[in-house]
Structure 1
Amino acid sequence: MADPRAFISFDFDHNETEKNLFVGQSKNSKTPFSIEDWSSKSSLPQTQWEKLIKEKINKCNMLIVLVGKYMASATGVAKEIKFAKDQNIPVFGVYVGGADSSSNLPDGLQRNRTISWDWGKIAAAIDQMMDEGKNK
């Protein structure tokens, strides 16, 4: 199979820098996955945004949530997790921006599926995701 595709979910208001760093580093890591920047480029009415994001998530093998310190205020992230789960797409999280195991998680993301930003651990999580959900 070609490199698995990952949809990156993140708190646009607080973690856009970390998202850009994550995407950039992923291109230079030995981690075998592709990230498409499918975030909405403009503000859309809620129903249009939901339809667009559901379609984009459905084209992926997994959803990776970049978990920052302010996830409780990131309502779009919780919706993206729900969309992924509704489509049987596996989800895991990566702590960014000073967040850690004591930080709030968005609704739908399990603590035992959220890891530190370590490319070895991320590669292992990606391998695990490829044996779960719609990827089986």
Structure 2
Amino acid sequence: MADPRAFISFDFDHNEESRMLFVGQCKNSSTPFSVQDWSSKSALPQAVWESSISGKIGKCNLLIVLVGKTMASATGVAKEIAMAKAQNVPYFGVYVDGADSNSTLPTGLARNRTIKWTWAGVATAITQMMGEGKNKV
């Protein structure tokens, strides 16, 4: 698989540790894919955040949403999904931190595009995303 650029969307206030674990595992040599994390690593003023994040998402092949239990309060995640959609960047979700199919999803993320955190499942979803949206050849 090519080296896709992925923007990792997550609840900055509640799922930072999951983001670090997810990205760290992606760098593990036994993981069946490679992802570059272009997500913001610090809180930014709103206007700077929107401009910076929209630009980063537009430069990515896909957006991966880490879906924790507190997604209802993660308004930035819903904005990032909307930015991806507006720029034809395909996206999918991965349940983290005990979230599951009964957990609230952020606005714009479909349940049938949200998966359990298994590397085989994530690899399959990334392969699918590389054939969708702006990645279509």
Q: TM-score, length-normalised on structure 2?
A: 0.93
**In 2, Cα distance between the equivalents of 1:71 and 1:84?**
17
**Counterparts of 1:17-28 in structure 2 under 5 Å?**
17-28=17-28
Give aligned pairs, total.
135
- Structure 1 residues 8-29: Cα deviation after superposition (integer angstroms, max 9, x where no partner): 0000111001110001111114
State the percentage of identical aligned residues.
66
**In 2, Cα distance between the equivalents of 1:122 and 1:58?**
21
- Structure 1 residues 21-79: Cα deviation after superposition (integer angstroms, max 9, x where no partner): 001111114232322243053431x2221111000001100000000000000000000
- Structure 1 residues 71-124: Cα deviation after superposition (integer angstroms, max 9, x where no partner): 000000000000000000001000000000000000000000000000000000
Partner of 1:108: 108
**Counterparts of 1:1-136 in structure 2 under 5 Å?**
2-28=2-28, 29-44=30-45, 46-136=46-136
**In 2, Cα distance between the equivalents of 1:102 and 1:41?**
29
Q: Is the 8 A contact 2:38 2:56 kept in 1?
A: no
What SS does structure 1 have at the residue aligned with 2:77?
helix
Q: Is the 8 A contact 1:3 1:34 kept in 2?
A: yes
What SS does structure 1 have at the residue aligned with 2:93?
strand
Q: TM-score, length-normalised on structure 1?
A: 0.94
CA root-mean-square deviation:
1.3
What SS does structure 1 have at the residue aligned with 2:107?
coil
TM superposition outliers: structure 1 runs of 4+ over 4 Å: none
Residue segments in structure 1 that go unaligned for 5+ positions in a row:
none
Q: Is the 8 A contact 2:8 2:66 kept in 1?
A: yes
**In 2, Cα distance between the equivalents of 1:62 and 1:83?**
11
Q: Is the 8 A contact 2:78 2:106 kept in 1?
A: yes
What SS does structure 1 have at the residue aligned with 2:27?
helix
